[in-house]
A and B are shown apart, each in its own frame.
Chain A
Amino acid sequence: MRRLGSAWTLLALGVAAVLAVPSLAVLAAFARPAREVWAHLWRTQLVEVLANTVALVAGVGAGTLLLGGALAWLVVGYRFPGRGLFEWALLLPLAVPAYVIGFAFLGLFDFTGPVQAALRAAFGPGARLPDLRAWWGVVVTMTLVFYPYVYLLARAAFREQGAATLETARSLGRSRCAAFRQVTLPLARPSLAAGVSFAMMEALADFGTVATFGYRTLTESIYRVWYGMFDRAAAAQLASLLLLAALLLLALERSLRGRARFTQTARRGGAAAAAPLRGARAWAATAACATVLGLGFVLPIVQLLVWTGDAFGGWRAAAFARLLANTLALAGTAAALATALAVLLAYAARLHPTRSVRLAAHSASMGYALPGAVIAVGVLAVLALLDRALVPALESALGRSVGLLLTGSAAGLLFAYVARFLSVGFQTVDASLARIPPSLDDAARSLGAGAGRTLSRVHLPLLRGGLLTALVLVFVETMKEMPATLLLRPLGLDTLAIEVWARTSESMWADAAVPALAIVAAGLLPVAIAIRLGAGGLPRPER
């Protein structure tokens, strides 16, 4: 038994080490400290940029927690008109890349957009809206894109608690609100913390949206030093600040999760009975959901559709189908890989909750907090190193030239996706796994099942919801991913996101509408499947 356990540990440590390399490659840049660049940045912008970054991440964290948590409680705990629709529709903004919502919002609400133009026509040239290119504009935009992470995980956690816990609290004399505050919410804390930490990591690593809004964060400085000063080493050193922030976020997430062990024996008594809302309160709930959905999904989609009308002619079906196939294949493979590895890491940490395994799992998850291009350069360095080591030997064995094996290969790109998005899979699986009581493990083991058999016969079936959630999240993330795809893809393997890049890089927003819509549409499919298969929920006990 011990030997088997150590095999799991070794495998997990190995996988984590490989996946952590691209993030840690960032630290290698400190070999030549760019003191002079740091001094320059300190004198000119570092304080402002750091303050902006902290303000953004905090704002997005608070915004997604409030919005995602409140909406999840609303659809799980109450009945109101349209609830059945909103329950799944509120996930839809997840399928829209943040940069797409960003440019759609600016297109609509900027000075030159239709809304302000109408205001000027009605109230004279002085009429204006407050400038969206500010902290609040970015926070609102990102909150609308990233709240579904919190919503998805919180909704699953609320539902899984079932009626029993809530009813017990009620029978002990707590009001519905107090029961929610004192029982439901604390039990859902790991899921809420995981969801919020996704949103904050996304905000930390984002470049596309902040660049669109002209809001200077640390990522902006990283690119300014890299592209502008041709100094990638200094840029990587700056990026290490993001790694530091990611570690802080992880520690925060851990401490929010607390020492308590959140397990549940089973879902007793079915889902908590939703309390019906009546009259004005019911319609207020409907209006709240409709507003969020309208802003986060309908509005940007309508804007894209309008642009599509302007630019539809230039597309050939065959070329488009190929882009779509490439996108789906890459995202599907990355999702399967990342989820499988997430299970491996989370399970190893469960079998042997040692410091080293936890640390390994976390260092493998750091890639999520780095801007895509930074981690992609780390991956590139690893691939180039391997190619330099492997190819000459292979060539002398085969007696012919093989070019490059890994650099610019689909395998290399998948490696980057997994290194970047493992965190999403890991945290989701880990949070689900934590809710399965260890007594089940003990029971299975005492009946003679080994660790592998216990995983496949006991845990995986119970984890079905969490696994689907992980698959969907990584799939959608990969499909939206732009910078690593741009840098590492094989020659000729273009995707929808690349097509969006090709058009938006010269600010031809309208031309980018068709591929952007396709990304959204393709993202809807897995979200819909996940909803049908009940992502996040524990399956009913088999009979």
Chain B
Amino acid sequence: MRFLPVLALGLAALLLGVLPSPGGGQTREVVVYSARSHYNQEPAFDAFTRRTGIQIRTLGGNASELFERLRAEADRTPADVLITVDAGNLWNAARAGLLATIDSPELVANIPAHLRDPEQRWFGLTTRARTIMYNVQKVKPAELSTYEALGDPKWKGRLCLRTSSHVYNQSLIATMIKRDGEARVEGLLRGWVANRPTLIGSDTKILEAIAAGQCDVGVTNTYYLGRLLAKNPALPVAPFWANQQTSGTHVNVSGAGVTASARHRAEAIKLIEFLSSPEAQQMFTDSNFEFPANPQAALNPVVARWGAFRADDINVAAAGEYQATAVRVADRAGYK
């Protein structure tokens, strides 16, 4: 049994070897808690470091869990910046006092008013449109109009939806509730549910299901289609811009805020300002086919091909404000 302590010691030594050394105060750095899936390979981060010499250290995670960690670490958190993939979680972090107000004329100029916190504790950096997707061989664009119209019986058995447990759908429902009220949105969801949609836990899978003919229409974020088209330009799926005659297509943001106890506040603001610049915005749209939040940035050609559309200009903070309500309404409507 002598091998056990030896094993334990050996492993402890190995562990000490791989532990990151505690960051000294000398190097200029920003610590980012990011819910973006590619938190450790953002081209825009590398560009920022090249430009400024400021190092970026990231911790990736789910937004809700990063929120818990920020709250537990309180005023001693090493985090300077929180990045999420939806407005709801930024709204929630701001409400809990975890984000500080950012006073930056540059950010205010770069990011349109409806894509940032009215109190300027967070700013959208990329726009994510969630709209109707259709199989171009089976559906004519003229058959499509609004999110609500997907509840029309003609789509019975032809509709693929993501579950309502995902924040992207919760945000979509939440902004609709803010605009139209609970009762009307519940009716809309009941319409979807009555069409017996195939529920799929991933936007990519929904697009593949539409391409393969499992269903004819669905609702997803557009950048997933961008990624698939980049691999296979012949994929028979196209976006239809929903609600152009009414509220506009639903958009969410991936955005950032500075933590209330940031040690590197100046560097943190500098990072977010850089990320809002046309140069960095271009990198977001090129690397992940998202829409830039800064209207001065050019679109990636794949994205540009889908044409201009009118986006819902409701403040994206509504996604947070009404998210809990959205979950309840979905539950009541039987939308799983």
Residues of A that sit less than 8 Å from B by CB: 40-41, 43-45, 106, 110-112, 117, 125, 133, 211-214, 216, 220, 223-232, 322, 325-326, 328-330, 332-333, 336-337, 339-340, 373, 376-377, 380-381, 383-384, 387-388, 391, 403-404, 407-408, 410, 456, 460-461, 464, 467, 483, 486-494, 498, 501-503, 505-508
Is B8's beta carbon under 8 Å from chain A? yes
- Measured CA separation A256–B8 after assembly (Å): 34
B14 and chain A: residue at smallest CB distance:
A329
- Measured CA separation A384–B213 after assembly (Å): 51
**Inter-subunit contact A230/B213 (CB<8 Å):** no
Distance between A537 CB and nearest chain B CB, rounded to angstroms? 16
Residues of A within 8 A of B22 (CB): 403
The segment from B68-76, B99-107, B145-153, B298-306 that touches chain A is B68-76
Chain B residues 1-48 with CB under 8 Å of chain A are: 1, 4, 7-8, 11-12, 14-15, 17-20, 22-23, 31, 37-40
- Measured CA separation A31–B61 after assembly (Å): 28
Interface of B is mostly: helix
Which single member of B60, B205, B327 contacts A228 (CB below 8 Å)? Answer: B327
Which single member of B4, B74, B92 contacts A336 (CB below 8 Å)? Answer: B4
- Measured CA separation A310–B320 after assembly (Å): 37
- Measured CA separation A155–B74 after assembly (Å): 50
Distance between A234 CB and nearest chain B CB, rounded to angstroms? 10
Which single member of B205, B212, B331 contacts A45 (CB below 8 Å)? Answer: B331
Is B118's beta carbon under 8 Å from chain A? no
**Inter-subunit contact B64/A111 (CB<8 Å):** no
* Also in contact, A456 and B73, with CB within 8 A (given A329-B14, A491-B78): no
Residues of B within 8 A of A373 (CB): 62, 65
- Measured CA separation A110–B4 after assembly (Å): 45
- Measured CA separation A474–B86 after assembly (Å): 36
Residues of B that sit less than 8 Å from A by CB: 1, 4, 7-8, 11-12, 14-15, 17-20, 22-23, 31, 37-40, 57, 59-65, 68-69, 72-74, 76-78, 92, 163, 165, 167, 170, 199-205, 208-209, 211-214, 224, 227, 323-324, 326-328, 331-332, 334, 336
Residues of B within 8 A of A322 (CB): 18
**Inter-subunit contact A220/B7 (CB<8 Å):** no
Residues of B within 8 A of A329 (CB): 11, 14-15, 17-18
**Inter-subunit contact B199/A214 (CB<8 Å):** yes
A235 and chain B: residue at smallest CB distance:
B64
Which of A125, A407, A456, A501: most chain B CB closer than 10 A?
A407
* Also in contact, A220 and B165, with CB within 8 A (given A373-B65, A467-B4): yes
Can you sample 28 A-B contacts with CB below 8 Å?
A106-B205, A110-B205, A111-B212, A111-B214, A214-B200, A226-B64, A228-B324, A231-B324, A328-B14, A329-B14, A333-B8, A333-B15, A336-B8, A336-B11, A373-B65, A380-B69, A381-B72, A407-B73, A487-B68, A490-B19, A490-B20, A491-B59, A492-B20, A492-B59, A501-B60, A502-B39, A502-B40, A505-B62
B73 and chain A: residue at smallest CB distance:
A407
Residues of A within 8 A of B15 (CB): 329-330, 333, 410
- Measured CA separation A407–B75 after assembly (Å): 12
- Measured CA separation A493–B39 after assembly (Å): 14
Which single member of A226, A228, A380 contacts B72 (CB below 8 Å)? Answer: A380
- Measured CA separation A464–B20 after assembly (Å): 35
Which single member of A487, A490, A492 contacts B65 (CB below 8 Å)? Answer: A487
Residues of B within 8 A of A387 (CB): 76
* Also in contact, A230 and B37, with CB within 8 A (given A377-B68, A490-B20): no
Which single member of A125, A380, A502, A507 contacts B205 (CB below 8 Å)? Answer: A507
- Measured CA separation A502–B187 after assembly (Å): 36
Distance between A494 CB and nearest chain B CB, rounded to angstroms? 7
Distance between A228 CB and nearest chain B CB, rounded to angstroms? 4
Residues of A within 8 A of B11 (CB): 329, 332-333, 336
**Inter-subunit contact A230/B65 (CB<8 Å):** no
Residues of A within 8 A of B17 (CB): 325, 329
- Measured CA separation A508–B331 after assembly (Å): 28
- Measured CA separation A391–B60 after assembly (Å): 26
- Measured CA separation A112–B135 after assembly (Å): 14
- Measured CA separation A326–B11 after assembly (Å): 11
B212 and chain A: residue at smallest CB distance:
A112
Distance between A136 CB and nearest chain B CB, rounded to angstroms? 17
* Also in contact, A223 and B14, with CB within 8 A (given A111-B214, A332-B7, A460-B1): no
- Measured CA separation A223–B203 after assembly (Å): 19
**Inter-subunit contact A502/B38 (CB<8 Å):** yes
Distance between A249 CB and nearest chain B CB, rounded to angstroms? 26
Which single member of B31, B205, B336 contacts A216 (CB below 8 Å)? Answer: B336
Residues of A within 8 A of B57 (CB): 491-492
A-B pairs, 5 with minimum CB distance = A507-B202, A332-B11, A44-B331, A384-B72, A228-B327
Distance between B225 CB and nearest chain A CB, rounded to angstroms? 13
* Also in contact, A491 and B31, with CB within 8 A (given A40-B331, A505-B37): yes
**Inter-subunit contact B327/A224 (CB<8 Å):** yes
